[in-house]
Amino acid sequence: MFRSAAAAMGLALALGFSGAAHAGVYGDDLAKCLVKSAGPADQKDFVIWAFAAMSAHPDVQSYATFTDAQRADMTKRVAKLYERLMTVDCRAETIAAMKYEGSPAIEQGFSLLGQVAFRGLMGNPKVAQTFSDLPKYVDIKGFEALGVEAGVKPAPGKTAK
């Protein structure tokens, strides 16, 4: 169960933060404890670890400068943080969640922690600016045609030039 909980945590953090399954009361309590117990430095480590893990993919590897040793170091740091959160800071919540709701509750808890951590990353002005630049490069006429076909009219003053 511990290995599957660890795998679930890694998957939740690195791949999707999906909320498809709904946590019960014990999973909710665990999620709240994890978020409360993981301070800004911990959240930063989670984000760096997830980014480092994703940067190992061959399609994006050339865009990141992480070495295998750096990835291993971040994985070790997050493993220690994971241990601390589950076995010390949120021990009672982890036990109850595992006992009554199983691995999905662990995944849900770390999913919420990942969402909170990534929200901090996304809130950085440079990151936000990069995302907000996307519409500059989109051909709005194609989207207007799509909207017309769907029966949606563009907002006044929002038509393509």
For residue 61, tell me if it sits in a domain.
Answer: yes
Give the residue numbers spanning the domain of 70: 2-125
93 neighbors 16 (Cβ within 8 angstroms): no
For residue 118, tell me if it sits in a domain.
Answer: yes
Cα dihedral 106, 110, 113, 115, rounded to 10, equals -120
For residue 139, tell me if it sits in a domain.
Answer: no
pTM, two decimals, is 0.72
For residue 134, tell me if it sits in a domain.
Answer: no
27 neighbors 104 (Cβ within 8 angstroms): yes
3-state secondary structure the chain: CHHHHHHHHHHHHHHHCCCCCCCCHHHHHHHHHHHHHCCHHHHHHHHHHHHHHHCCCCCCHHHCCCCHHHHHHHHHHHHHHHHHHHHHHCHHHHHHHHHHHCHHHHHHHHHHHHHHHHHHHHCCHHHHHHHHCHHHHCCHHHHHHHHHHHCCCCCCCCCCC
pLDDT string in tens for the chain (161-residue length): 444 444 444 544 444 444 445 669 999 999 999 999 999 999 999 999 999 999 999 999 999 999 999 999 999 999 999 999 999 999 999 999 999 999 999 999 999 999 999 998 888 899 889 988 988 898 888 888 888 999 987 777 665 55
**Tell me, what's the pLDDT at 95?**
97
Task: Tally the domains of the chain.
Answer: 1
**Tell me, what's the pLDDT at 143?**
84
**Tell me, what's the pLDDT at 131?**
87
For residue 153, tell me if it sits in a domain.
Answer: no
For residue 142, tell me if it sits in a domain.
Answer: no
Instruction: Output the CA–CA distances (angstroms, integers) from residue 33 to 74, 88, 89, 110, in the order listed.
Output: 23, 11, 8, 10
For residue 133, tell me if it sits in a domain.
Answer: no
For residue 132, tell me if it sits in a domain.
Answer: no
Instruction: Output the CA–CA distances (angstroms, integers) from residue 138 to 128, 131, 141, in the order listed.
Output: 17, 12, 9
